[in-house]
Structure 1
Amino acid sequence: MKEFHDIAWYVKALSKELPNDIRNPAPQRLLGGLAYIIVIVACIVAMNKFDINLVEKLMFSLVLGFSFASMGLLGHEILHGTVVRTPWLRNLLGGIAFAPLSVSSRLWIKWHNTTHHAHTQDEEKDPDAWISLEQLVKSPKIVRWVYRLPLGFRAFVSFVSLSFTFSMHTMRMFFMYINEFKSKKLVVWLEMLIPWAVWFGLLFYVGFNKWVFMYVIPLLIGNFIVMAYISTNHRLNPLVPINDPLANSLSVTVPKFIDVLNFNFSYHVEHHMFPGINPKHYPLIKAKILEHWPERYFHMSLVKALITLWKTPRVYYKETEFLDPRENTAYDSLGNGLDINNIKFKKLKSV
């Protein structure tokens, strides 16, 4: 892909074709959050009250984990201001939605809305961009050693780590940005600590054995589901010199009922193009994108995207390729030759 346009260019091109009321907030989306809160509370109460077997505990944990993830995806939507606009109410409701994953509202706005969206796939400025060869060379020896392990083993470890990566990255972002909040630093600390206090309070109330199935396993499942989306949002795309959502983002397809349950989070190109529009409108925006730039719009099934992630390395090489440092091989990225049905690589003479 040689031609890049910034987000404003796309907004200008499409805005006149969109309904006038499309930017209105959608407070009715909170009903989905209320439903998930009822499910979470009901599951925890049932697990505490009734004597259930291991299989039943795991089924409850699965439901809780899916609910944790979906609440986080709703929190993402709320904190973009597409559900309610009043700042204090937006932050409160976003914090409640993110409570299962223990994410501060203000931290998320700083890390995700302000920084990630403004600098998507910028090697230096995007806090979510994957490591480049230049950054790898400067990394600690242990990190460089990890990237010398066989690609298949690295892929396996990466997929297992999806079950805790979101929580771990959240803590990394917390300590990266906490000093920038100044007068609001205490508030951000409280937004992080209160959910943890609630969950550890549950531990002391129900005991460790029940708590593992009520919180620990659901948290791992919730992490995995959220990261299954997040890891495919940009990691098959190149690093880019201009924040172009058709170059740096990928939308995935899932069954319609999953889109309903996950608040249309699969529409990620659309989200980066119009983050201020509620995701319920993203099917319309997708249709408009396909009318104008069908050859530049990246989308595939979530399963196919995950398989492609498994088969390709995660070190950026010259911005548009992925490098396997162990084998000294380079793989193409989306828009730069990557064929997801026939993944190929080339041998490099030297890096």
Structure 2
Amino acid sequence: MHQEQHLREYTRTLKNHLPRHCFEPVPTRLAYLPALLALFGLCLWGILSTPLVALKILLSLGIGYAFVGMGFLAHEILHGAVTKNPWVRSITGTIAFLPLMVGARLWRRWHNVEHHGHTQHPEDDPDTMGALESIGQRPFMRWLFRQAPALRSFLLFLSFTFWFTLHAQMMLWRFLPGFKPSERPAVVFQALLPPLVWGGVLLWVGPLNFLFIYLVPWMLANATAMSFIATNHLLNPLTETNDPLLNSLTVRNPPFVEWLTLGFGYHTEHHIFPALSPKYAPQVGQKLKALWPERYNELPHWKALYYLWKTPRLYRDHRNLIEPTTGRVFGTLGFGLEEKLRQEK
């Protein structure tokens, strides 16, 4: 079994194997933002111009891609992988996160500091799933884990259509008291700005067009983002030490899809060097596989989603998941998960 290693053990070694330019921001990536905004504007104009519902739906899918692309870009910008200028980073990150309703300052606290600093820690990571003993403390969780596994998986995947935005609002209430009094007005403003913007769009275009211009694309963007986010860590073991090769998963897609999603699937690489541009993530991945082949976790995206469907989202202990309705135990990635699922086919 793998012993936990600290993040710094990987970064120290990898820095000797990667060229220095890999650690510089890539400002040209900012060109995605006007391109995605232009796609949104073009599809919006088309939806307002056509009476054909089928065409409105098609254009709505285009906006959905623009929204999720902006979300992936916001993540990149706010980590400093595009620019180190704090004003440019804050303004462009705020704009790019408008569709998913996330404030830039909240994201840096919740995601950059807390999630990256405590990845898959059972108590300190705000994004990790619960342990068996936590069920009794929450009535909804007790109800959920009394349901049949297939129904529970269906509900989990259905929740992808809204969960990213809902979780962001939960994180706002969790972390807002921890901001300095001087910072809170900006955090609150960034939280209020998206609903004000989209509320104004609703008044402008009317409910039917708003369905195609915002609601359907918002659900598509949430679902796409969550299909990556849920597979990034929820199949991995819990760790007391921040060990990205144990607690993170890289998911792979066809090259064209990886280009469309801005390389977001290279998540193990991202957790080792959060400020590194996804442009260089494949190089990092090659070095990780060469140096630590037995520790590196990588799956096709579709297979990771299949594993997510087939396993419960409840930890019996740091290395195992448990199905509470039957008591069946599933290992996590690197600790028998794939072998268990292969045996059950």
Number of the residue aligned with 2:38: 38
After TM superposition, list the pairs within 5 Å mapping 1:130-169 onto structure 2: 130-137=129-136, 139-169=137-167
Matched residues in 2 for 1:248 and 1:110: separation?
20
- Displacement of 1:2: 2.8
- Displacement of 1:341: 8.0
Matched residues in 1 for 2:342 and 2:151: separation?
18
* Alignment-mate amino acid for residue 97 of structure 1: A
Instruction: Compare 141-150 and 71-80 and name the one that shifted more.
Output: 141-150
Contact 2:36/2:70 (CA < 8 Å) preserved in 1?
A: yes
Number of the residue aligned with 2:82: 83
Contact 2:78/2:93 (CA < 8 Å) preserved in 1?
A: yes
1:246 aligns with 2:222: no
- Displacement of 1:141: 2.6
Matched residues in 1 for 2:195 and 2:339: separation?
40
Matched residues in 2 for 1:80 and 1:322: separation?
31
- Displacement of 1:23: 1.1
Matched residues in 1 for 2:51 and 2:15: separation?
54
- Displacement of 1:340: 6.3
Matched residues in 1 for 2:339 and 2:231: separation?
13
What SS does the corresponding residue of 2:322 show, helix, strand or coil?
A: strand
Contact 1:68/1:101 (CA < 8 Å) preserved in 2?
A: yes
* Alignment-mate amino acid for residue 274 of structure 1: F
Number of the residue aligned with 2:199: 200
What do residues 53-75 of structure 1 show as CA deviations (whole Å, max 9, x unaligned)? 22111111111111101100000
Matched residues in 2 for 1:192 and 1:207: separation?
23
Instruction: Compare 284-293 and 174-183 and name the one that shifted more.
Output: 174-183
1:99 aligns with 2:98: yes
Number of the residue aligned with 1:308: 307
- Displacement of 1:21: 1.5
After TM superposition, list the pairs within 5 Å mapping 1:124-273 onto structure 2: 124-137=123-136, 139-181=137-179, 182-273=181-272
Matched residues in 1 for 2:40 and 2:9: separation?
42
Contact 1:68/1:218 (CA < 8 Å) preserved in 2?
A: yes
- Displacement of 1:322: 0.8
Contact 2:2/2:295 (CA < 8 Å) preserved in 1?
A: no
Number of the residue aligned with 1:349: none
- Displacement of 1:107: 0.2
C-alpha change, 1:141 and 1:174, in structure 2 (3 Å) is same
Contact 2:47/2:55 (CA < 8 Å) preserved in 1?
A: no
What SS does the corresponding residue of 1:233 show, helix, strand or coil?
A: helix
C-alpha change, 1:142 and 1:194, in structure 2 (3 Å) is closer
TM-score by length of 1: 0.95
Number of the residue aligned with 1:26: 26
What do residues 55-103 of structure 1 show as CA deviations (whole Å, max 9, x unaligned)? 1111111111111011000000000001010112211111111111111
Contact 1:238/1:247 (CA < 8 Å) preserved in 2?
A: yes
Count of residues in correspondence between the two structures? 343
* Alignment-mate amino acid for residue 217 of structure 2: P
Contact 2:46/2:59 (CA < 8 Å) preserved in 1?
A: no
C-alpha change, 1:61 and 1:95, in structure 2 (3 Å) is same
Matched residues in 2 for 1:312 and 1:161: separation?
16
Number of the residue aligned with 2:16: 16
Matched residues in 2 for 1:160 and 1:69: separation?
17
After TM superposition, list the pairs within 5 Å mapping 1:103-114 onto structure 2: 103-114=102-113
- Displacement of 1:134: 2.1
Matched residues in 1 for 2:289 and 2:79: separation?
24
Matched residues in 2 for 1:211 and 1:129: separation?
33
Number of the residue aligned with 1:325: 324
Number of the residue aligned with 2:119: 120
Q: CA RMSD for the aligned pairs?
A: 1.2
* Alignment-mate amino acid for residue 3 of structure 2: E
Contact 1:121/1:240 (CA < 8 Å) preserved in 2?
A: yes
Instruction: Compare 120-129 and 91-100 and name the one that shifted more.
Output: 91-100
What SS does the corresponding residue of 1:322 show, helix, strand or coil?
A: strand
Contact 2:46/2:56 (CA < 8 Å) preserved in 1?
A: no
* Alignment-mate amino acid for residue 104 of structure 1: G
- Displacement of 1:140: 2.4
Structure 1: unaligned runs, 5 residues or longer? 346-351
- Displacement of 1:158: 0.6
What do residues 125-152 of structure 1 show as CA deviations (whole Å, max 9, x unaligned)? 0000011112223x22332121111000
Identity of matched residues, %: 38
What SS does the corresponding residue of 1:117 show, helix, strand or coil?
A: helix
Contact 1:331/1:344 (CA < 8 Å) preserved in 2?
A: no
Contact 1:308/1:340 (CA < 8 Å) preserved in 2?
A: no
Matched residues in 2 for 1:6 and 1:127: separation?
19
Instruction: Compare 219-228 and 322-331 and name the one that shifted more.
Output: 322-331
Matched residues in 1 for 2:211 and 2:16: separation?
52
